[in-house]
Structure 1
């Protein structure tokens, strides 16, 4: 299986998750790990699975990830999305939790763009939690990322 992981990171937490996903993916096949800013000329047709990740910034992915996904060609390729986000249990005041849940997360927006482009998006989205705006990741999130990749990769046919 050929897997591409394209991500953006602001405080380094999403990069740590992308690297964990890549480590796990190497057990399944060939892996290309790219920061979105380095993905000029990226050809999704060369892969069996495209994984796109971003921190959640203002209910959305970073502008770099939005530009990357917006520029993808239409394709029937399998894809998945992940994000890093605040731990809802630590969001204060409590009513702000509702605002964030209604506003959504980066992975939701990434999935929407991928669907518009014809990608076959595998569920569930990866949702990895950080303490505070800058992190660090909550304990166990790296391990969850590794398991998540194997879970979604099971939905990919490489025939």
Structure 2
């Protein structure tokens, strides 16, 4: 496998700093007379993070970007993206553990498929060993909590009525 990242020119200018994965761009802050820095992940048209940027000594122009500031910005933007991905994953994949009738503890999972045209979710149940007990397609707005999970298990996994959030 060939590494082509060395073919990418890296920019290191006072208002634009770049590595293979991130670009920092100092921009005029539309909200006031100050400056902001936008962090773009490679291949993305929208910034992953925008934050305030320090004024220079003349109190008119922005402080120039440098290596240590860029490293800090990359760490901050990477952490922000990671947390956003974790939050989205938590919203789309939920689970609750309830007591089953003869099955012991049952893990009920809700996996939401955020399709633009037809969003839906898969409600499933697993026994303590991880074996699938049941699976049914439900409305994407189905509210999974201990009560709805227990009711589904108690009803022998009959398709639940639409429980909206």
TM over 0.5, shorter chain: no
Of Structure 1 and Structure 2, the greater helix share is in 1
Taking structure 2 as the reference length, the TM-score comes to 0.26
1 or 2, which has the higher strand percentage?
A: 2
TM-score (norm 1): 0.26
Q: Pick 1 or 2: higher relative contact order, CA cutoff 8 A, min separation 6.
A: 1
